[in-house]
Structures are given as C-alpha cells and as structure tokens.
Amino acid sequence: MRKKLQNQYFILRHGQTTQQIKRAEFTYNWPDKPPVRLTKKGEEQIKIAAKKLKKERINLIYSSDIFRTKQSAGIIARELGLKIHFDKRLRDINLGVYHGGPKEALYKSFPDPRKRFYQRPKKGESWSDCRGRMLSFLRQVDKKYKNKRILIISHGDSLWLLEGAVKGLINKDILDENFVKGNYINVGELRKL
C-alpha cells in the first residue's frame, strides 16, 4: 500500500469459536450457516482486548458481518460505548466449494500456497481477491475520516493479508511473515497496523 494513512488503525481477530474446538479439521461454512459462536474462552479473549482498547481511545469500530465477529464487536462496543459499523468486505476469505469440508481437500487442491494468491477455488476467491477487498475497505474509510483511531474486527486470513499489504510486503514476504516466522494473527489478538 505504501501510502501514509490518515488514521490510526487497530486490527482484532474474533475470539476462539466452537468450531475451532470441535471441528478444527473442517473449514467454516459460507457465509455463516449455521452461525459459529464464540466459546467462553473466546469471549474472555475479547474482554481482555476490550480493556486494552479502552486505553487506546478508539473512535470507530468496523466489523465483518459474520456472527463470530459480530459477537466480538458487541463485547468491544459495550465496553467502549461505541456503535458498530458492519461491512461485508471484512468477511473471511471465501473458499467456495471447500467451505464446510475437510481442510485436507483444500490443501490437496492447492499444495503450493504461493499459487493461492492467484488461483481461486471454484465459487471462491484467491488471497489477492481477499486482500483487494480489504484494501478497498481501508482506502474508503481512510478517505472518509482524518485523525481517528479505528478498530477493524475481522478474520485470520483477511487480517494477515491486509496487514501485509499495509506494510508494503510482496506475496513471498507475506507468506514468510506468517508461515515461516509464525506471525499469523491469533484468535482474540489485537494489533496496531
């Protein structure tokens, strides 16, 4: 992205979910049927993040409209006394025909992660598609406001792709940052962009 942002951004991944505990070997259903809920641990992770965010004087909250992020945003909004703005562009990556199925099938069809930047699963999107919609959201919000402190609540892939783009990383460096260095954003994790 390289352009200096007019606002300060914070990113937060939703808290731990019931599906991450029970069906970790399966991908999420798209867009959210049935809704995947936070676990008690996930709710606690978000409450901890809310306390940290209180010190950051957040002005605006933007969230994915998927249930697990809505739940996370609700906890944050109550703590900060702010309204939530939902945006579909903040959703998790669309895995198309692989949604609701075993992760092994996705990994078998896409064994080289570098190709996932350009190859789309049938009825789904590539990492570049996901990064593009996240950047579209960020550019639009950054034009609308100036000198605000803005929280973005979203999903793992969407957030690491956005973070890499904001840092100006090329695809190889984004992959290295997350899969070699292990810097993938954890559930309930809060970061400054």
Please state at what angle helix 40-55 crosses helix 67-80, rounded to 10 degrees.
40
The per-residue pLDDT for range 106-128, each reduced to its tens digit, is 889 999 999 999 999 999 999 99
Question: Which sequence spans correspond to the domains of the chain?
Answer: 8-192
Q: Which residue has the higher pLDDT, 19 or 123?
A: 123
- The CATH number for 8-192, chosen from 3.40.50.1240, 3.50.50.60, 1.20.120.790, 3.40.50.2020, is 3.40.50.1240
What integer pLDDT is reported at residue 63 of this predicted model?
Answer: 98
Residue 148: strand, helix, or coil: coil
In 3D, which of 94, 164, 92 has the Cα closest to residue 135?
Answer: 164
**What number is the average pLDDT over the span 37-55?**
97
* H helix runs in the chain, sequence order: 18-22, 40-55, 67-80, 103-109, 127-144, 156-166, 171-175
Length of the chain: 193
**Are the C-beta atoms of 7 and 150 separated by less than 8 Å?**
yes
pLDDT bracket for residue 102 (50, 70, 90): confident
Q: Does residue 1 carry a pLDDT above 90? A: no
Q: Does residue 22 carry a pLDDT above 70? A: no
**What number is the average pLDDT over the span 73-93?**
97
Q: Does residue 24 carry a pLDDT above 60? A: no
What integer pLDDT is reported at residue 20 of this predicted model?
Answer: 81
Determine the Cα–Cα distance for residues 130 and 10; give it in Å rounded to an integer: 19
Q: What angle do CA 184, 185, 191 make, to 5 degrees?
A: 130
Q: Which residues contact 107 (CB under 8 A, 6 or more apart)?
A: none
**What number is the average pLDDT over the span 80-85?**
98
Number of Cβ atoms within 10 Å of the Cβ of 136: 11
Q: Does residue 57 carry a pLDDT above 90? A: yes
What integer pLDDT is reported at residue 4 of this predicted model?
Answer: 82
